[in-house]
């Protein structure tokens, strides 16, 4: 992790409805994501995890508070400007992969670049690079239906970090995968983050949250606690002991 | 019990001396539960008493030299082999009601007045998660295992990871259960009972009174 801040939420609150029937989904949440950092958000259903992710990704506007993405204050931007910023800076990874079946793995990955006006050639080069980081460059021409669940999720990660995109917002990305495949996906995500990206991982699964540098707990829309790894390797591998 | 049978299972591969057994056990379990040599010799004494191992002159092809001079080698007996195969072929039975400090602590805490049980749970969950993060980080430092020792070590790490995860899930579950109980007005502290507790062993039935 370094000091560069990729994403910041400052005093973010989200309310649905008004008056007596108003529901508070988030209440005064502060969160800072640095480059090279993976932050997990945990909490029971309805604790505000997913709301936090949609607000962080500029897909919803908070009732109050600020969202700052790579130095840009979303509250000062137009919807069109936010959409462009989103394409350039951040990518979502969902439980159900969300790949377009009619496009190949590579075409899925480079879609945000093409929408952003990149030339086909430049986009393809960046797309192959992104696929290489998830060890799927050899499946670039394959359609999603011919990929396993784990491979589809790795394509989704490649799409989330293609080009200059460095913020990965993942909502239960291993939810549809078996435990071993889920681990491979998390390992890839961790590797991208170690290489300088930043990630927010929403999960209810402690074993998956444990891949993060910090774990933030939400309860009733508030951050109630934070757990950071001590960074001490209590148990050394046999190889490291030699 | 598991140390005794593990050592026996290793001896099934050929004769060993005490320190050699320690090193074999450690490398086959990721050095997670290191044994001291005294423990090994105690175990070997008992195994010999039970006629599951015996002393031998054989060294199972070990490179001999100064380090092995004067060492007492042990080899497994037929009865020992049967013991090993029985162990590997049967399930490990855990005692159902082992006293677990955390379970006891939560159970007691929920009956005490003025205790924020939610806080008790959260403090524990944070600590368990930190442990889980450290384990995961350690595991992540090793890519796919390349040797049998690394594979054995990964199995042990995974077991610790899954145990920590289970604890977190139980804490989550307890939190939800307590929230429901509180909403239903059930989570009230217990004052000290005014009934005089019966002394001695519990009475089996009322008919004798």
CATH number of the domain within which A92 lies: 3.40.50.300
Whether residue B66 lies inside any domain: the answer is yes
Nearest-neighbour CA in chain B from A103: distance (Å): 32
- The two structure tokens encoding residue A88: 């350039």
Per residue in B140-182, pLDDT (tens digit) is: 877 677 888 888 888 999 999 999 999 999 998 998 888 888 8
Whether residue A171 lies inside any domain: the answer is yes
Per residue in B18-50, pLDDT (tens digit) is: 999 999 998 888 878 888 889 999 999 999 999
Which residues 208-227 in chain A show a CB within 8 A of chain B?
A: 209-212, 215, 217, 224-227
List the CATH number of the domain containing B17.
1.10.10.10
Whether residue A8 lies inside any domain: the answer is no
- DSSP helix/strand/coil, A81: helix
Give A-chain residues touching B129 at CB under 8 angstroms.
206, 209-210, 215, 227
Q: Examine the domain organization and report whether B81 and B6 are in the same domain.
A: yes
Q: Examine the domain organization and report whether B174 and B110 are in the same domain.
A: yes
Cβ distance B149 to A238 less than 8 Å, yes or no, reads yes
- DSSP helix/strand/coil, B63: coil
Q: In what order do the strands lie in the sheet with B16-17?
A: B16-17, B73-76, B53-56
Strands B16-17, A72-73: pairing is unpaired
Chain-centroid distance, C-alpha B25: 15
Place of tokens 């995968």: A177
Whether residue A9 lies inside any domain: the answer is no
Q: What would the DSSP string read from start to end of A126-154?
A: HHHHHHHHTT-GGGTT--GGGS-HHHHHH
Q: Examine the domain organization and report whether B22 and B64 are in the same domain.
A: yes
Give A-chain residues touching B172 at CB under 8 angstroms.
44, 204
* pLDDT, one tens digit for every residue, chain A (242 residues): 778 999 999 999 999 888 888 888 999 999 999 999 999 999 888 889 989 999 999 999 999 999 999 999 999 999 999 999 998 999 999 988 889 999 999 999 999 999 888 999 999 999 999 999 888 999 999 999 999 999 999 999 999 989 888 999 999 998 888 888 888 889 888 988 998 999 999 998 899 999 999 999 898 888 887 777 654 333 333 333 33
Range of the domain at B39: 2-88
Give A-chain residues touching B142 at CB under 8 angstroms.
237, 239
Counting the structural domains of chain A, the total is 1
Cβ distance B153 to A206 less than 8 Å, yes or no, reads no
Q: Examine the domain organization and report whether B126 and B59 are in the same domain.
A: no
Q: Which of B130, B137, B140 lies nearest to residue A187, judging by beta carbons? A: B140
Cβ distance B137 to A233 less than 8 Å, yes or no, reads yes
Per residue in B176-197, pLDDT (tens digit) is: 888 888 888 887 778 788 888 8
Cβ distance B136 to A210 less than 8 Å, yes or no, reads yes
Q: Examine the domain organization and report whether B59 and B108 are in the same domain.
A: no
- DSSP helix/strand/coil, B36: coil
Whether residue B189 lies inside any domain: the answer is no
Cα A147 from Cα A139, distance rounded (Å) = 8
Q: Mutation target for B interface from A206, A209, A217, A234: give the one with most B CBs within 10 A.
A: A206
Per residue in A70-110, pLDDT (tens digit) is: 999 999 999 999 999 998 999 999 988 889 999 999 999 99
């Amino acid at each position: 992790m370094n000091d560069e801040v990729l994403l910041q939420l400052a005093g973010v609150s989200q309310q649905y409805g008004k008056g007596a029937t108003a529901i508070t989904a988030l209440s005064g949440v502060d969160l800072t994501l640095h480059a090279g950092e993976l932050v997990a958000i945990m909490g029971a259903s309805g604790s505000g995890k997913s709301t936090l992710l949609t607000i962080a990704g500029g897909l919803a506007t908070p009732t109050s508070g600020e969202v700052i993405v790579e130095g840009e204050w979303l509250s000062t931007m137009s919807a069109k400007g936010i959409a462009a910023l989103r394409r350039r800076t951040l990518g979502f990874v969902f439980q159900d992969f969300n790949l377009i079946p009619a496009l190949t793995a590579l075409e899925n990955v480079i879609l945000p670049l093409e929408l952003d006006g990149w030339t086909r050639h430049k986009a393809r080069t960046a797309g192959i690079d992104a696929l290489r980081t998830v060890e799927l460059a050899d499946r670039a021409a394959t359609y999603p239906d011919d990929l396993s669940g784990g491979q589809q999720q790795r394509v989704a990660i490649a799409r989330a970090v293609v080009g200059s995109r460095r913020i990965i917002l993942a909502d239960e990305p291993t939810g549809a995968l078996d435990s071993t495949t889920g681990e491979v996906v998390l390992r890839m995500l961790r590797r991208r983050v170690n290489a300088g990206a930043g990630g927010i991982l929403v999960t209810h699964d402690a074993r998956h949250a444990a891949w993060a540098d910090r774990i933030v707990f939400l309860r009733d829309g508030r951050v109630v606690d934070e757990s950071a790894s001590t960074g001490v390797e209590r148990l050394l591998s046999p190889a490291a002991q030699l | 019990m598991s140390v005794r049978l593990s050592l026996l299972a290793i001896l099934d591969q050929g004769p060993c001396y005490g320190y050699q057994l320690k090193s074999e056990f450690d490398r086959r379990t990721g050095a997670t539960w290191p044994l001291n040599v005294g423990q090994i010799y105690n175990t070997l004494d008992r195994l010999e008493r039970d006629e599951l191992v015996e002393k031998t002159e054989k060294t199972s092809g070990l490179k001999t030299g100064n380090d092995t001079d004067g060492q007492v080698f042990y080899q497994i007996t037929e009865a020992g082999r049967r013991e090993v195969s029985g162990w590997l072929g049967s399930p490990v039975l855990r005692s159902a009601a082992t006293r677990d400090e955390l379970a006891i602590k939560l159970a007691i805490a929920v009956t005490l007045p003025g205790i924020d049980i939610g806080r008790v749970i959260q403090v524990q969950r944070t600590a368990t998660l930190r442990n889980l993060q450290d384990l995961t980080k350690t595991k992540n430092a090793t890519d796919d295992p390349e040797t049998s020792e690394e594979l054995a070590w990964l199995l042990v790490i995974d077991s610790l990871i899954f145990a920590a995860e289970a604890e977190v899930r139980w804490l989550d579950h307890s939190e939800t259960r307590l929230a429901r109980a509180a909403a239903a007005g059930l989570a009230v502290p217990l004052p000290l009972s005014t009934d005089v507790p019966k002394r001695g062993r519990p009475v089996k039935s009322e008919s004798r009174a």
